[in-house]
Amino acid sequence: TELYAVLGNPIAQSKSPYIHGEFAKQTLQDISYQAIQPPVDQFESTLRTFIKQGAKGANVTAPFKEQAFTLCDELSELAKLAGAVNTLSFTVTGKIIGDNTDGVGLVNDLQIQFGSLAGKRILLVGAGGAARGCILPLLQSNISKLVICNRTYSKAKQLALLFNDFGNVCAENINTLNDEFDIVINSTSAGLSGELAPLPESVIGKNTMCYDMTYGKKLTLFNHWAQSVGAIKTADGLGMLVGQAAKSFSIWRGVMPDPQIIMTTIRQQMT
Ligand code: ATR
């Protein structure tokens, strides 16, 4: 049995142990997958203890993704640009390899929910860690353009500059946006405190599809707003969550599980 875990604080609500347990059954892999809650100031020591126990890999979630990035001996291209990692692999020689599968999880789920991204004009709302991790995979999906907007414009501008060499990306001021988009993605944490990013209704046209990276049992606040102003379709981030897990699992185990099989069960389990 090979050992894996997710490290985050808090971690009790994490669905990762269930998801990876199901993936292991599906693909006949002999793994054990725990949930670990390091004290906020003891991520590194907790991680090193886990590695000493013979662990093969770990997922990292809030608030440790940026710190995990700094501890890696090697990083994938995606992780380098994301500036954060959610997937660690531990080699036999004791190295920590970091990857970021959030963006791939998002793009795969967008394609499942909304179809091909080719030629799409995409608005990314928010410029924090969640947004940054997804920009490169979006730019690599043959989209027409990516516009980043954020409550704090300067952060959107910085991100657009950082990814300028990788595709058609720019920042716009959230208050002066006046284009319509094919897809609008909410990456902000506004909804978690019952708030909405101040987007103008004009970004939503009659064929606009909206994706909220957060998820819940009920329709998310952002998706509720999107539907009320006429979005043709909405989806929440549960598929992204399961998709990033599937990609992590395939990095560790060399076999890609099917994320769709467990989606219905996970949604039913949500409280
Ligand atoms: P994460 O890792 O979830 O992206 P983060 O790096 O703290 O977390 O980023 C949070 C994002 O949500 C930011 O884009 C933030 O906007 P600011 O850069 O202006 O702070 C956005 N956000 C959080 N609360 C918000 C609110 N009430 N309204 C609009 N945007 C909000």
Q: How confident is the model at residue 251 (pLDDT cuts 50, 70, 90)?
A: very high
In which region does residue 142 sit, left (phi positive, over 0), alpha (psi from -120 to 50) or beta (all else)? left
Determine which residue's CA is closest to atom 24 belonging to ligand 1.
Answer: 190
- Topology match between the domains 2-100+240-269 and 103-236: yes
Q: Which CATH architecture does the domain made up of 103-236 adopt?
A: 3-Layer(aba) Sandwich (3.40)
Q: Taking the domains of the chain in order of start, what are their residue ranges?
A: 2-100+240-269, 103-236
127 annotated ligand binder: yes
Atom of ligand 1 nearest to the CA of 127: 14
Pick the catalytic residue from 25, 52, 65, 233. Answer: 65
pLDDT at position 270 is 84
- From the list 126, 168, 117, the residue with the least C-alpha distance to 148 is 126
Tell whether the model's pLDDT for residue 114 goes beyond 80: yes
Tell whether the model's pLDDT for residue 269 goes beyond 90: no
pLDDT at position 148 is 98
pLDDT digits (tens, 9 = 90+) for 180-199: 999 999 999 999 899 999 99
Determine which residue's CA is closest to atom 30 belonging to ligand 1.
Answer: 197
Region 2-100+240-269: CATH code = 3.40.50.10860
